[in-house]
Structure 1
């Protein structure tokens, strides 16, 4: 006999779906101002110091494909 009564992997949506969330976001959007765009400039390599990358992370990045970039 097959047990079709599986436990839920996530709690039931008690709020009624995404529509209320979208409405909340639309109501709040005017209250949140986007910061002014700052023109970012390159940083001189001589100003970058004290950065350490764990060997495990460096190996991970080295192992990633380049994709021709």
Structure 2
């Protein structure tokens, strides 16, 4: 959707629809650059250290049955 504060001359469509969204995206395509594909090697588990998970996040994941109960 068009930001009226930046682009005051563009038509203002607050409801928006899929066609408006696709039009906005099509106009932005020239401004986006695809990054070069970076292929990274897997990291050895022995090199991973210092990862800290907040207690609230750990409790959230622990409460999800998909992660093993």
Asked whether the two chains share a fold, i.e. TM above 0.5, the reply is yes
In structure 2, do the counterparts of structure 1 residues 54 and 64 end up closer, same or farther at CA, with 3 Å as the change threshold? same
Higher relative contact order (CA 8 A, sep 6+): 2
The CA RMSD measured in Å over matched residues stands at 2.6
The answer to whether 1:15 aligns with 2:12 is yes
| TM-score of the superposed pair, with normalisation by structure 1 | 0.56
The SS at the match of 2:25 is: helix
Q: Which sections of structure 2, spanning at least 5 residues, go unmatched?
A: 1-10
Q: Distance in 2 between matches of 1:33 and 1:49?
A: 34
| TM-score of the superposed pair, with normalisation by structure 2 | 0.56
Q: How many residues align?
A: 55
Query: 2:5 — aligned with what?
Result: none
